[in-house]
Chain A
Amino acid sequence: MAPLFIFLAHRSLLDQHTAHGEIRTWLRNQGGCYDVRYAPSSIRRHEVCATIEPEILLGRPYPSETVELRVEFEFPEDTEYDQYEIQWIDGERNYSFGWHQDETHLDLGRCHFQLEYRDETLARKPAVFHDIHPVNVLEQRLSLVPSILELVTWEYNRPRLPQWPPRDV
């Protein structure tokens, strides 16, 4: 039998596995969340995806029948904080938005908000950095979705982000 070596490199894989497991469990218990799954497979849990009925999840009218939610957490050994990407993808209207806490666009701070339309990034804005537990991060970010929906306006079938609040988002 091959000896059981435990490499440091495995730590972030195990952390990701654990966090994605918790996130999947939580999403599966939310009204309006369907088909909660790992991608690309139940063994390789690079991200958690879910189909959402927004009217049920948010408890308010929403123009599209369903949206996709994509959540990916990572825990690099060489950073002092957890990284993640939480993206709300409205395929019917070809746009998506979400929070990215990673090594990109550090001029905006450790976490930024991103609005995308088709293949184009329309806006990137600084977002509040919270050093909190992954499930609490997801809960807190999803609770902000209604306020984001109020900030996004539409012109000629194209989303816009005319203003961005300085705090709390």
Chain B
Amino acid sequence: MDSWTDGLSTRERVRKIALSLTRPRSVNWIKTEADVASWDTTKDELERLVEYGQIKRVEDDSGSETRYRYGPNYRRRYLDRVEELVADHTKDELRNEIAAIQEQIETWQDAYDVDSLSALNESVTDTGLSSDEIRERNAVIRRWERSRETKRLIAHALSLYDDLERVTDPDSGPQPSEMAP
């Protein structure tokens, strides 16, 4: 098995870890995960990513002196995801995915005899469910939540689709007749 670090430079490794952080982490944590020897290089690369808006710096007041933790920039990640959906999929694919999500939700509704996610949430406290059944329902709840959020994300991508296409398509720039004299 190859390690993910093979063939990557020190700074590339820091970037890989930093851009896929799931919560704010210290320079030391990132340095270790990126398999980098130098604290200064790690910190320097993280600061560059902060400057470009790719990650966020948050104050870490757990120690005696002020240090920072570095974490995801969710606003950036959200917009990148919308952009990616538009770039990688046709409108029909996005619409079909919304339909597939809806179908999946209906399957869950039938399987658990509930009409909403909150009803499924409430059903978990029902007495009479085995621990395996509770575990299964909790897993479905999480997937249902993700599916609902994904649907919303796709709806955003569809609402921006034409505008994003227009600004990237060289043929649809302002025509001479539309330009101000």
Contact = CB atoms under 8 A, between A and B. Distances in A.
Query: Does A associate with B in a complex?
Result: yes
Interface of A: 1-2, 4, 6-7, 9-19, 21-22, 26, 29-31, 40-44, 46, 57-58, 74-76, 82, 103-104, 132-136, 139, 142-143
Interface string B92-107: 0010010011001000
A144 B131 CA distance: 29
B4 A135 contact: yes
A4 B156 contact: yes
Interface residues of B, number: 44
Contacts of A18: 19-20, 22, 72, 77
B165 to A, nearest CB: 14
Given A2-B156, A22-B20, A82-B22, A30 B78 contact: no
Given A75-B22, A134-B22, A44 B101 contact: yes
Contact of A41 (B16, B100, B143, B159): B100
A10 B149 contact: yes
Contacts, number: 96
B146 A16 contact: yes
B104 A14 contact: no
Contacts of A31: 2
Contacts of B154: 43
Nearest to A131: B29
Contacts of B4: 22, 26, 135-136, 139
A18 to B, nearest CB: 5
Interface of B: 1-4, 16-17, 19-23, 33, 72, 74-75, 77-78, 81, 85, 88-89, 94, 97, 100-101, 104, 131, 135, 138, 142-143, 145-147, 149-150, 152-156, 159-160, 163
17 contacts: A1-B160, A9-B145, A10-B74, A10-B149, A11-B72, A11-B74, A14-B78, A18-B20, A18-B22, A30-B1, A41-B100, A43-B94, A43-B154, A46-B143, A76-B142, A104-B131, A135-B20
B86 to A, nearest CB: 12
Main secondary structure of the interface of B (DSSP, over half): helix
B146 A46 contact: yes
Contacts of A136: 4, 33
Of B2, B94, B146, the most chain A CB neighbours within 10 A belong to B146
B75 A43 contact: no
A74 B138 CA distance: 13
B1 A13 contact: no
A43 B147 CA distance: 10
A11 B146 CA distance: 10
A14 B74 contact: yes
Nearest to A59: B1
A-B interface, 8 closest residue pairs, ranked by CB to CB distance from nearest? A15-B22, A133-B33, A14-B77, A13-B149, A75-B22, A18-B20, A43-B97, A22-B20
B17 to A, nearest CB: 6
Contacts of B100: 40-41
Contacts of A11: 72, 74
Contact of A43 (B19, B72, B78, B150): B150
A104 B68 CA distance: 33
B142 A139 contact: no
B1 A139 contact: yes
